[in-house]
Structure 1
């Protein structure tokens, strides 16, 4: 990677030095000198060259993970997610498990059995016992429920919760969470409230915004969900206080109207999620393409604390501020594990460093969003949890080997968020050339110049877990 000069919309010039991981303002004549490679008589540029700001940067992608890194990740994991069922009582038109995608298709139909969940929980209890005491405060341990629609398998949820509350997770506070479409939430509100569930509800806004979310019979689901939420809001205020909302952004979305709807009706703002980009090989690729729309939030709204990271440009600025600094940690496990401080191709997480996802049939994956072609672990027929850390490390390192060539020529490499295991092949739609990265830098710093308070707002209001 070479040093890059760029201009903002106001005409100011900057230098991005990948070797020093900094962006500095430079005089316009210095910008012109760099672009022409004629700066021997320019004192300012001579100083920059002497101090290493103009050096090329070549990533050292020799780092590979070990079985010990995998074991440490599992030891420090803060969440286990159970796929309760692949069945769903809705048939959303943009669902990632629909014919608009291929990468998420490899899953069979079925429901989780309690015996499978019990093996995983018992095994984690034993693994946590081996954790070396650090003296740091332990984070809460989340036991989460996912689907399909998880409440369609409520009896097993009940068994898991009641069993987990009897276990000793080495001083960790157990937190129960769930992602649900809220079609059945009224029926199980007593239980969810009693066990202080943190709930993320999928709702895209008012009836117009939410109209892609259909029932299996093809009817819009908004009226059912809205009625249930109002019931919870009135009769279970404590449970309602633990509810968050996720709104998928589509071509029917208008951020201002959506935010006004949620605040007026529920006194809360939602988080926004971008519609997954469709796979070109998918059967309904054109249908998903027609629904896609980039998230756009009016400036005066996205400067509010609860919405500051919902803006794509704010997320990008935040990524640059954290990833380029080299001094950011997300939890205590990263402080004690050297692999998290190392540079390797892609933005793929070390397996199991964030969560363990358990499918209904007992297969283990690092998260719910990746390919399910080959399990990373499993509950075997003898009800034992099998995780071969050496095999997992080899598989991960093999992926790094394949991506090293692609990543080494990408100018976004130091700020990459791309997960290699969400792709079906080695094509990376996130790769950026020098000119593309220059345009990104220009856009970011043009925004910062117009809104100079944004960096401090991010610093003061965004807390890393």
Structure 2
């Protein structure tokens, strides 16, 4: 359905997304063996269910998986096999290893799904030494949280207030030593940027110790408690600003490549504006002017992910306020009303439709409406609206950068895969 030149989500689109689901992520537990000062579930933030040290039962994962398998089998395409990553998240997921093992064992019994199952986990690595044999055996992809050296990592403390650095560092070093091929292929790092570290020094630390380039993320800027704003602002550091202070910015960006915010944005710019990008074979036969877009850059429900909380709430990702859940696992059933989900999604994204209609990056927006703290207000406006003049200035900056760094264009074309 079209509305003012924009598409509206309907139940068929949601079912299509579930058929082609890329990630199914379980919040294994809301318990954690660390007490990181900036955690998105810490006292800095609102918008999540109260943390009660709950542990997810395998009955929940079986129920969700069975629900999805029924949808897949009803719409089975014999010649199409697609990958699905099952992710385990927390809290600290290794605290509930029984759930993880039982879920993987159940997945391994499934037949006729036309899916290739892969496994991933985000972990603080404190308990890594207890379970790495299993994780290696099952070919898990690990995203390890490490903020750099001892001081850089010092916000990541245990419940007694002690820095977790040496335990994490020791476990990671041993993992690399015991399973070098696995480590090279399956282990990645994420660093949260704050006032005790910077991109330059963390990059040097990661490369010199593990021969890895870490991804960087800034503190979550939505859902901050009013009385904690001062604490947040003291800790907050922007990734782009931190990189800009590097004395070797050009070299740092080329080493980090797609993990550099500038290079990632440059890749997105080329992806969006070259006119040579096609999502599938059929799109070659249609003019891009014939396609309608959804307003804002908000993912349609389950386009990229289904996230199941420890309390059985179903969301479209882990970054969204728990009040915006799309369904629930209850009494051995998955309860999702597709029509209601579509109606509610359209209601929230269409609050911004006036801004979208005149925005210069209409169709290329990456902003999620659920990251807007004012989303529940009757009248809201987009904080990332871009007029024609501002957009032209941005395009000139990117083109100038490409002209000054012609080797990057070739690297982006040959090395970068942008997800739809």
TM-score range, shorter chain: 0.7 to 0.9
Measure how far apart 1:79 and its partner are: 1.4
User: What pairs up with 1:62-461 in 2 under 5 angstroms?
Assistant: 62-102=6-46, 104-109=47-52, 110-133=54-77, 135-136=79-80, 138-168=81-111, 170-241=113-184, 242-277=186-221, 279=223, 281-295=225-239, 296=243, 298-304=249-255, 307-325=256-274, 328=277, 342-381=292-331, 383-424=332-373, 425=375, 426-461=380-415
Flag structure 1 segments of 5+ consecutive residues without an equivalent.
1-58
Kept after mapping to 2: 8 A contact 1:271/1:310? yes
Q: Secondary structure at the match of 2:212?
A: coil
Task: Report the more deviating stretch, 231-240 or 158-167.
Answer: 231-240
Q: Cα–Cα, structure 1 residues 312 and 435, in superposed 2: closer, same or farther, change >3 Å?
A: same
Kept after mapping to 2: 8 A contact 1:278/1:285? no
> CA RMSD of the aligned region, Å?
2.6
Kept after mapping to 2: 8 A contact 1:278/1:288? no
- State the distance in 1 between where 2:274 and 2:399 align: 17
Kept after mapping to 1: 8 A contact 2:142/2:188? yes
Flag structure 2 segments of 5+ consecutive residues without an equivalent.
none
Q: Cα–Cα, structure 1 residues 66 and 328, in superposed 2: closer, same or farther, change >3 Å?
A: farther
Q: Cα–Cα, structure 1 residues 134 and 442, in superposed 2: closer, same or farther, change >3 Å?
A: farther
Residue deviations 1:111-130, cap 9 Å, x none? 21111111011112221113
Q: Cα–Cα, structure 1 residues 378 and 210, in superposed 2: closer, same or farther, change >3 Å?
A: same
Q: Secondary structure at the match of 1:216?
A: coil
Q: Cα–Cα, structure 1 residues 193 and 420, in superposed 2: closer, same or farther, change >3 Å?
A: same
Measure how far apart 1:433 and its partner are: 3.7
- State the distance in 2 between where 1:146 and 1:272 align: 18
1:15 aligned residue = none
Q: Cα–Cα, structure 1 residues 365 and 332, in superposed 2: closer, same or farther, change >3 Å?
A: farther
Q: Cα–Cα, structure 1 residues 436 and 281, in superposed 2: closer, same or farther, change >3 Å?
A: farther
Residue deviations 1:108-164, cap 9 Å, x none? 43221111111011112221113352845x332111100011111111111111111
- State the distance in 2 between where 1:277 and 1:95 align: 12
Kept after mapping to 1: 8 A contact 2:78/2:114? no
Measure how far apart 1:177 and its partner are: 0.6
When the two structures are aligned, how many residues end up with a matched partner?
A: 399
2:416 aligned residue = 462
Q: If the length of structure 1 is used for normalisation, what is the TM-score?
A: 0.79
Q: Secondary structure at the match of 2:238?
A: coil
Kept after mapping to 2: 8 A contact 1:313/1:444? no
Q: Secondary structure at the match of 1:301?
A: helix
